[in-house]
Structure 1
Amino acid sequence: MEQTKTISRVIISGGGTGGHIFPALSIADAIRAKYPEATILFVGAEGRMEMTRVPAAGYNIIGLPVQGLQRTHIWRNVGVIKNYLLSLYKVRKT
C-alpha cells in the first residue's frame, strides 16, 4: 500500500531583501502546487520589502518588530530585547 504524505501548515521566514524573499516565494509556490490544502504563512520584519511582496504573491504574512544587534553601541540592544518579547507575544496570538 502506498503511503501518502500531507502537510497541513507551513511557516516560512526570511526577508529584508529580494535575495531572500523571491526564493522563499518559489518554495511556497512549490509547496502549494504539491499540497494545495496546506496553509502557508510567512513571517517577516515590519516595514521591510516582504510586507508588500508576499501579499502581492497571494500569501498571508505576519510582520514582527525586529532589529539587528548593535555591536558598537551595546546599550541600544535594550530595544532588541523589547522587540523580541513583542514578537513572541504576537506569534503566540496567531
Structure 2
Amino acid sequence: MKLEPVPYNTDVDIVKIDEKGKSSILIEQVNVKKNKLTYIYFDAQQLKELRTSKDKNYLLILNNREKELLSDAKAVDLGLKPFPTSFQAVIEFYKESN
C-alpha cells in the first residue's frame, strides 16, 4: 500500500475490521517521514486471511489512537498546534474476481 506524503513525521497503524465489527491490528507503528512517500507491506499470511475471508474486510489507517487522538484535538483547541495531525481513513479490501 502506498501512502502519499504528509507535511509532518508520524507513525501509522493498520487495523482490520470485518463487516461484523471484529477488529485486529495488522501492522503497528509504520514510520511516515515528512514529505516522503511511504510503502506499507503486508505479509503473506495477512493477505491470505484477507483474500479467503467470507466477510467483507476494511482496513482502517490511523496515526493517533486512544490518548494521542485526544491530545492532538486538545492541542488544536488550545491553539498549541495550527492544525490537527490526526489522520484516519477506511479502505474496503476487495478480493480478486475470477
Q: Name the TM-score class by shorter chain.
A: under 0.3
Between structures 1 and 2, the one with greater strand share: 2
Q: RCO higher in 1 or 2 (8 Å CA, sep ≥ 6)?
A: 2
Between structures 1 and 2, the one with greater helix share: 1
Structure with higher Rg: it is 1
TM-score, scaled relative to structure 2: 0.26
